[in-house]
Copies of this chain bind each other. A is one copy, B any other.
Amino acid sequence: MENYILPINLLIADDHQLFIDGLTKILENEKIIGEIFAVNNGKEVSETISLQSIDCIIMDINMPVMNGLETTKQVKLSNPEIKIIVVSMQCDVSIVSKMLKAGADGFINKDTGKDELLTAINKVMGNEKYISPAISRNLFSFFSEKKNISSENEKQLTARELEIIKLIADGLTNQEIAAKLFLSTMTVDTHRKNMIAKLQLKNTASLVKYAFEHKLL
C-alpha cells in the first residue's frame, strides 16, 4: 500500500504556537511520522525546506509575512515533490479552489480530528488528493448551483480598478484620486463607472459594500 518512504518528515506552518504544540503532540508518537519541524510564517517555510528534507507540509492559510496561498505556489514551483495539506478554519469554496489551483494536495478543516489528519497525510503521500468530506460536500453543492457559476468566472477587477476602489472607500472623490494617481478626473470617473457597470451595481455606496464582501480592501 504505502509506496512512499517512511518515516515522513513533516513541516507545520502555522502562526498559532498552541496549534503547533498540539499538533506536534498528536503526531509525534505516530510510527509513520519522522521528524516534525515548525515555522510561524510562509517565509520561514522556504528557508526550512532548503535546509531540511521535508516530505509533507501542514499549512495554515492565514499567516503573517507570507500567506498560505503564496507559500504553496512557491513551494510547488521549487519543490513539487513536497506534499501540502492545507488546514484551515475558512472553507469558502473560493478559497479551497484557489489553494487547489496553487497546487495543494489536501484540504482539511480545523474542525476535524486526529484520525482524519492521519488519513489525509497517508493519502497525499500516496500521491492522491484528499479533501475533507465536509468541504467536498460544499464543493458539490457549489458546482450544482447554477447561480454560483458567476462566482467562478468571478468578474474580477483590474489592478488599476482595485487601486481606485480602495481610495474611493477611504472617502476620496474622483478629483482627489486623480490628483493622487496623476490621472484625469474623468479617467477615475470612467474606472468607477466601469466597475459599477461590470459588477452590476447601482452606485458608489454599493460598490464599497461589494468590495468589502469580496475582501478587496
On whether the beta carbons of A17 and B112 are closer than 8 Å, the reply is yes
Listed stretches A69-77, A151-159, A167-175; interface member: A167-175
A17, A18, A117: most-surrounded residue (chain B CB, <10 A): A18
Q: How many residues of A contact B (CB 8 A)?
A: 35
Listed stretches A3-11, A96-104, A200-208; interface member: A200-208
Chain A window 92-125, contacts with chain B (Cβ cutoff 8 Å), 1 for yes, 0 for no: 0000000000000000001111100100000000
Interface of chain A residues 1 through 42 with chain B (CB within 8 A): 15-19, 21-23, 25-26
A14 to B204, CA, bound (A): 39
A18-B87, A171-B202 given; 10 more Cβ-contact pairs under 8 Å:
A16-B111, A18-B22, A18-B113, A18-B114, A18-B117, A19-B22, A171-B205, A204-B205, A209-B212, A209-B217
What would 12 A/B residue contacts be, using CB atoms closer than 8 Å? A17-B112, A18-B23, A18-B87, A18-B110, A18-B112, A19-B110, A21-B113, A22-B26, A25-B26, A169-B208, A171-B203, A209-B217
